[in-house]
Structure 1
Amino acid sequence: MRQLGTAKAVGVRNQAGAVSVGCSVDAHCRSVALSFQIVTLAGQNTHLNAVNLSNATNEHCDGCQTLAGAYQFVVSTARPFTLDATAQRKLADIHRRLDDLTRSKIPAADLKTQADSLAAEVTAVLHDAVADAPKAPDAPAVAVHRHLDGWPGH
């Protein structure tokens, strides 16, 4: 989480990379990388360069599951605000469950569904957190960028 406060120009990068290399049909590999980034910023006419990437690569890895998911949440308000203790507690719980999901053995398709569900929870927490904050006139209070890449195996 990056809480930037008042800003005129900001550059942020979120990236998830997963690689499975050299496994065989008899000895499958699994590589999962999930990254959630929350950026809060405030101000009028703020320029944001937000990069959100994921890359999943299978190299000579028949039957492998490789998944990379990058989720970026940008919260923009007219004046600075800080996420309160309740919002931070909820986000910490989601973070714990995201870590558990990364280590799970569930199929890649189910993993994507659960990661999207956790992203929806983050979005709800952030919407609640900024419900009373002054918003920029031409920008959504919370914007979500999602990029998934991967192979579910054969």
Structure 2
Amino acid sequence: MNTHRNTRTSSRSRNALRFGLLAAGVATLASAVPAQAAEGFRSARDDVRTTANHFHHVRVRDSFTVHQLGAVGAADVRNQVVATGAGCGADDACRSVALSFQIVTLAGEHVHLNAVNTGRAVNDHCTGCQTLAGAYQFIVETPRPVRLDRDTLRRLDAVHRRLDDLGRSGLPAAELKKRADALATEVTGILKNAHPAEVTVHRHLQGWPGH
């Protein structure tokens, strides 16, 4: 019996030793990882595309997204919009509208941020087409992680519904541009009111005919 007990104790000691060496190895590995990698890399992607042609004379699409990334060491955020009118004649009245509102919140003292925001309107042999591509990107940076509260999200959702209504309104592209700009100004105010932090806004609109 004593021999059996000693054997079990010895086995536990070996297991404890192996665990201790493993823990030490993990600690060494963690200390070797750069702080940026430890904080993590996050990304956000939004891509809105529409194509109007002689099969589908009117194409309208919008996106309104909120990405709360939390604490990051590096982030890559992209908001890309393309509206295309293709092959319509002067009597087809083709209309292609693509709009995207991308909201990104992130935290960190020295974040390596790559932000891309592009809007492109394409007229491909499309006489008399109306195309509008509007990309709006709102970036909220804070030293420590914060979450948008329920009231802020509710207010943003109300803007989202109005953006949906705007896309379905049938207004000329030039008027859509003005109203989309007004909604973007409202979003900026909501975000600034939610947190005393700087809000960076990237805006890229392109339309055909040029406006």
Of 24, 28, 36 in structure 1, the residue corresponding to residue 93 of structure 2 is 28
Match for residue 143 of structure 1? Answer: 200
Distance (whole Å) between structure 2 residues aligned to residue 15 and residue 109 of structure 1? 20
Of 15, 18, 24 in structure 1, the residue corresponding to residue 83 of structure 2 is 18
- Asked if the contact 1:28/1:61 (under 8 Å) is kept, the reply is no
Gaps in structure 1 of 5+ consecutive residues: 136-140
By how many angstroms is 1:17 displaced?
Answer: 1.0
Deviation per CA, 1:34-73, whole angstroms, max 9, x where unpaired? 0000000011011110110111111111111000000000
Structure 2 length as normaliser, TM-score? 0.67
Deviation per CA, 1:101-151, whole angstroms, max 9, x where unpaired? 1222111111100000000010000000112xxx5xxxxx10000001111
Is 1:79 matched with 2:136?
no
Distance (whole Å) between structure 2 residues aligned to residue 7 and residue 73 of structure 1? 17
Is 1:124 matched with 2:181?
no
Match for residue 4 of structure 1? Answer: 69
Distance (whole Å) between structure 2 residues aligned to residue 98 and residue 152 of structure 1? 22
Is 1:42 matched with 2:99?
no
State the SS of the aligned residue for 2:190.
helix
Q: Give the number of the structure whose residues are more often helix, by fraction.
A: 2
- Asked if the contact 1:107/1:152 (under 8 Å) is kept, the reply is no
State the SS of the aligned residue for 2:121.
strand
Gaps in structure 2 of 5+ consecutive residues: 1-65
State the SS of the aligned residue for 1:28.
coil
The number of residue pairs the alignment matches comes to 145
Match for residue 138 of structure 1? Answer: none
Match for residue 125 of structure 2? Answer: 60
Provide the alpha-carbon RMSD of the alignment: 1.1
By how many angstroms is 1:16 displaced?
Answer: 1.1
State the SS of the aligned residue for 2:144.
coil
Distance (whole Å) between structure 2 residues aligned to residue 112 and residue 80 of structure 1? 33
Poorly superposed stretches of 4+, deviation over 3 Å: none
Determine what percentage of the aligned residue pairs are the same residue.
61
Structure 1 length as normaliser, TM-score? 0.91
Larger Rg: 2
Distance (whole Å) between structure 2 residues aligned to residue 119 and residue 143 of structure 1? 12
State the SS of the aligned residue for 1:45.
coil
By how many angstroms is 1:28 displaced?
Answer: 1.3
Distance (whole Å) between structure 1 residues aligned to residue 111 and residue 170 of structure 2? 42
Distance (whole Å) between structure 2 residues aligned to residue 8 and residue 21 of structure 1? 42
Distance (whole Å) between structure 2 residues aligned to residue 87 and residue 65 of structure 1? 34
Is 1:91 matched with 2:179?
no
